[in-house]
Structures are given as structure tokens and as C-alpha cells.
Amino acid sequence: MRLMKCMLFLLLMMIGPALEAQQQTDSTLQVKKSRIVRSFMGMISHEEGEAPDPINMRSEDLYRPYEGAIVRRIIIQHLGFERILTDTTQRFQTLIAQVANGLHADTRNFAIRQNLFVKEGRPLDAYGVADNERTLRTLPFVMDARIYVKSIPYTTDSVDLVVVTRDVFSIGASFEPDLPNRYQFSLEDNNLMGMGQRIRYGGLVQTNRNPHWGHELFYQKTNLMGSFVDATVGFTQTNSGPSIGRENETSYYLRLNRTLYHPLVRWAGGVEVSNNFSTNVFMKPDTAFAHYRYNLQDYWAGYSFGHSRHPGDLRQDRTRNFIAVRGFQQFFYHTPDIELKGPDKFIYRTRVALLGQLTFFRQDYYKTQYVVGFGRTEDIPYGYRFSLTAGWEKELDIARPYAGAELYYNKVYRNGAIWTYTAKLATYHHEGGLQDGLLSAGLKRYSRLYTIGRMKARHQSETSVAALFNQRLKPGLDIRDGNGITAFRPDSLSGTRKITLSAEAVLFTYWKVLGFHLAPIIRVDLALINHTLPSVSTDNLYAGFSAGLRARNENLIFNTVEARVFYFPKVTERLSPVSFQFTTNLLIRYPTNLVSRPATVFNP
């Protein structure tokens, strides 16, 4: 019965905007001559009224006037799909909103309370409330969240907190055809029974595959029993597990993860174990198929210290220290029997590592919009993080000590511009000398938000330099995809020096198609890479140009949908200079982690 309701809802998603057009004639293009054209244009709508001013403020500013007041009660409220948190006075009485409210199970109060570390009967801490509001927004089943302070009549020393959340519509389905012989689909519930559980089934049908069907099962419980540990278990035949090799892999995996979700948390850590093996579903000959089997074991734990308050003051000293250890093993029971070339030579290796890390950090958050999201509230970190990592790693039966340092500094200006600086220096030591040393630096900038009529625009630019010296066991630097040129994926193009430069602009329009907001995007990537110092030469210079359209409905669990055309003036390895890419599950989020597990600069 629920499946039939979900199918009905997806059908309404297709015809709903046309029905809404009859109620909101001013917000939809009207074409009277043709009923077919009128129905098609009814799918395209735009938002009426003045566009609300974007949020641009420090997360804790709203709570500072109430610092020190006792929290008497915490009240939890849920908003339906007909309302938005940025303006709760508006109500969108549409057929889609009514059906969505009927199908959707609101997150239960106990699931929200499990994610509250602000407690009743304690003094209000502005940073703590802001941190808790941000943590609620990171939950995969919550679209947006606010914590409001409610004054109590006839008293000034106590307040109530009202926690208001708006869920995403948790039931989802996807279908990705790759004509003419490959079809991938999935069904999932991102908040099963409103209890913070995610369950997903994925399927793959491919005519040149044996067997033709592949399956994927995935279950996740967010904040297991109020411990802030996220537990995940999964099985896949469709290459969606760890998948470190080149062949289709079958995987069984288990993950437990507890992040440092706010600065006052003491403990963080994680466990990941998996069993993985290649499967010859495309019936390659033995001379071409890489047969391998491996397991992964990854354990880490960290402790945060240095917590204190200013003398005689309730305000926090946000400077923190974090010490962590990690043990990792990637063990190959069987390695490929075929000859490996290029980057493949660095993949199928047993590797063991034991690392320790000391991190000094201070991180606060700015609350804003339209950075990578389509109007949802985004929490942008600002502050610094400096990490020192040391340990031991064994690869190809060669044991080497490792040492490295990483610096991250993020600054948010009052006009909304965001600057991020990064630097890394690391090396191994073996046979009396330094090996596989890496030096890199990067700068990334998001501009302030521009308003163009009722539309919003933001552009970003990024540059980086990197040098690898005395290369021995680690692969060379590359400019594949996110490492240099978007969607450019040569296998053999690598070097020991590189410089990258990119620029991207996104226009957030007020137009919607089937409830999905539209955002045109253009991007330019340039990269220099070779085996000596980079020089401005056509032999070393590669470029990528792209333009496309992104679409996202923030009310649904789907990630961003993107269609983009790429042009590469210079290609290698028979890559096409022109390509088209349609992505239905593009995950774009601004990184907000306070700290992460210890890692080398080569293997995060």
C-alpha cells in the first residue's frame, strides 16, 4: 500500500506543477492555443514575491543576549512541506505538499532529542546552542533546523528553547539509463518510520553483464542509541563499496563512526571492516581480467582536550587540542596475475599503517546561503587547524617511518566572501634518506553573493601548486578530475610537479521545473604538469571548459542533478575532446568537520 502511495506521489511530482498553474496564473507562463503546450509550460514555474534576504551572520550571534539564562524547557516542533523555516508565515497549499505530508512520517521527537546536547536546567551557552542547531542540520533526514529562544513572562533568568525542524521527503527513487544496454535504479527510505534509519536497495541491469542483474543493500542508523555513533552495514555487487581496484567488485562492509560533532566533545573514532573481491561479470579473458581479493580493517580513536572557560565568564575558549591514533590494514589475499601498467602498479598492494596525530584547532561557524546549496541554510566554518602526523607504514614489504604537517585556515568576511588556505608537507624516511616527499599549497575563494534582480550569483576560484620529490613507492601527481581538470580522466598522465587554476560561476535562478530549482554553471580549468619544474608550454599545459545546468529540490533526499558539456582542447589516451555528462546523484557539500582521522597525505 505504501509503495502505491509513493508511486502516486511521484506521479503528482510530474503533473503537480501543471495543476498548480491553474491556481497561480501569475507564476506560470500561460499558452492558451495548445493544451499540450500549456501542460508542458505548466511544469515550468517561478517563485512569486520578493526574494528573501540571504542569511549572513555568525551562528552564535542570535543567542548572545540570553547567555547564562537557565533553560527551563526544550520544546520540539515540526514543520510540514507547506512551510519553510526562513519564513514560517508563508503556507504553500499545493496538492504536492498535501500528498507529501500524507505520505511522510515526521521524525519522531525522541530521535530529535537524541541529537540534542543542550540540556534543560543548565545555563544557556550561545556557542553550544549554535553548535546544536548546526548539528541538527547535518542530519541526512533534516532539511533545515532552527533553535529559537522563547522568553518567559515575569522572569529574566530563565528561557525556553523551541527546536523547529523541517524534514526532507525521505522516500526516494532513481533511474539512470545508459542506453542502449545499461539501466541502474534504486529505492530508499532515508528516515524509516521517522527513527533516523536509512534503508536502500539498488539494482543494475546490463545486457553485456553475466549475470545481467546486480544488487545492492544498505542500512544505516544515525546516532545509534543516542551515542552519536552512526552505524552502517551493506552488501553490493555493483561496485559501490570500497572499490579500490579497476574491476567490478563485490563487497560486504560494516562501518561505525563518531565524529567530533562539536568542540566540547571529548571522544571521536571509527571502525571499518570489509571483504572485497573482483568479479568477472563482463567475461573478460583470463589474460585481461585482474583477479584479486582483499579485506580492509581500519580503526581509529581520538581525544579532545584543552577545554576551558574564561575566568569568571560563561563564554567558551574555543581553542582545542586533539590527539588521535589509527591502525589500518589493506591485505590482499590474491593479487592480479596479469601484467600491470601505469597507475595500476600502485593499486594492488598490501599496506599496513600505524599513525598518531596531534591537532591544534579553533573553529566557529558562519550561517549563510547559496554557497553550494540552493537556498538552504549552510554552516561555513572559519578558523584554523594545524596537524602533526607521525607513524609507520609498510608497503611492498618495505617498512618506512612517516612524518607530515598540514595547515588549514578558513576566513569568512562580513560581506560573505570565503577564503580557504591549505598547506601540506610530508615525507617518508628509508635507507638513510627522504623518500616520497610532498609539498603542496592551495587557495580557494568563494565570492560574496551577488543579487541580480531576483536571482543570486556566486563565483569561486581555486589555485594550487604541488611538488613530489624522490618518488619511490607512491604514485605521481595527476590532474584527473578533482585533482586538476573536472571530468578529465587520463590514466597515464602523471608527474612530479603541477600547478592548477580554476574558476567557476553559478547563477541561482528563481525558475523551477517539477519543483527543482535551476542553476546554470560555467567553469574553466587549467593545469601544468610534467616531470621537471612546470613551464608555460603547450607540451605541459592542459585545459578544460564546461557549461551546464544544475537542478535540486531541497525538499527531497535526492542529491543535485547536473547536465554538463565538456571541451578539452588537448587530450591523451584517445579521450574524446568533447563529452557530455549527466549526473543524477551529485553530492556537493561544504566540508565542516572539526578534525578527521589520522592519515598520510597520499592515503586519506
Q: What is the DSSP string of 426-480?
A: EEEEETTEEEEEEEEEEEEEEPPPEEETTEEEEEEEEEEEEEEES-SSSPPEE-B
Q: At what angle do helices 2-23 and 95-103 cross, to 10 degrees?
A: 160
Rounded-to-integer distance, Cα 586 and Cα 414, Å: 29
Q: Exposure of 157 by Cβ count < 10 A (0-12 exposed, 13-18 middle, 19+ buried)?
A: exposed
Query: Cα 582 vs. chain centroid, distance in angstroms?
Result: 18
Task: Compute mean pLDDT per 10 residues along the chain, 604 residues long, and list them.
Answer: 44 37 36 41 46 69 91 92 64 66 83 93 92 92 91 90 90 81 89 91 92 94 93 94 91 96 90 96 91 96 78 61 96 92 86 97 89 86 95 95 97 90 97 95 95 92 95 92 92 89 95 85 94 67 95 75 93 88 74 86 88
Dig out the grid coordinates for 410 from the structure. Answer: 578558513
With cell 569568571, the residue in question is 312
Q: What integer pLDDT is reported at residue 93 of this predicted model?
A: 60
* Residue 473, pLDDT score: 93
Question: Do 203 and 184 meet the contact criterion of CB atoms below 8 Å apart?
Answer: yes
CA gap 483, 486 in Å, rounded: 8
Spatial separation of the C-alpha atoms in residues 316 and 334, rounded to whole Å = 53
CA distance 239 to 260: 30
Residues 161, 162, 168, 171: what is their CA dihedral angle, to the nearest 10 degrees? 100
Per-residue confidence (pLDDT) for residue 311, from 0 to 100: 44
CB 107 within 8 A of CB 196: yes
Q: Which residues contact 556 (CB under 8 A, 6 or more apart)?
A: 168, 169, 172, 515
Phi, psi of 98 (to 5 degrees): -65, -45
Q: Which residues pair with 502 in a beta bridge?
A: 462, 525
Using the 8-state DSSP alphabet, how is residue 32 labeled? -
DSSP string, 525-556: EEEEEESSS--S-TTTEEEEEEEEEEEE-TTB
Distance of CA 304 to the CA centre of its chain: 24
Residue reference for cell 591502525: 327
The DSSP output letter for 5 is H
Burial class, 374, CB count within 10 angstroms (exposed 0-12 / middle 13-18 / buried 19+)? buried
State residue 316's pLDDT score: 60
> Cβ(250)–Cβ(283) under 8 Å?
no
* CA 415 to centroid of chain Cα atoms: 25
CA dihedral 91, 95, 101, 103 (to 10 degrees): -170
Determine contact, residues 333/350, Cβ cutoff 8 Å: no
Phi, psi (rounded to 5 degrees) for 446: -100, 130
Contact 144, 97 (CB under 8 A): no
Find all residues with CB under 8 Å of 219, minimum gap 6, and list them.
197, 198, 199, 200, 232, 233, 234
* Residue 262, CA distances (Å) to 61, 135, 268, 570 in order: 17, 8, 10, 46
Angle (CA) 262 264 266, round 5°: 100
In the prediction, which pLDDT does 339 show? 87
3-state secondary structure at position 363: strand
Q: Which cell is 69 given?
A: 539564562
Cα-Cα-Cα-Cα dihedral sign, residues 285, 290, 294, 300: negative
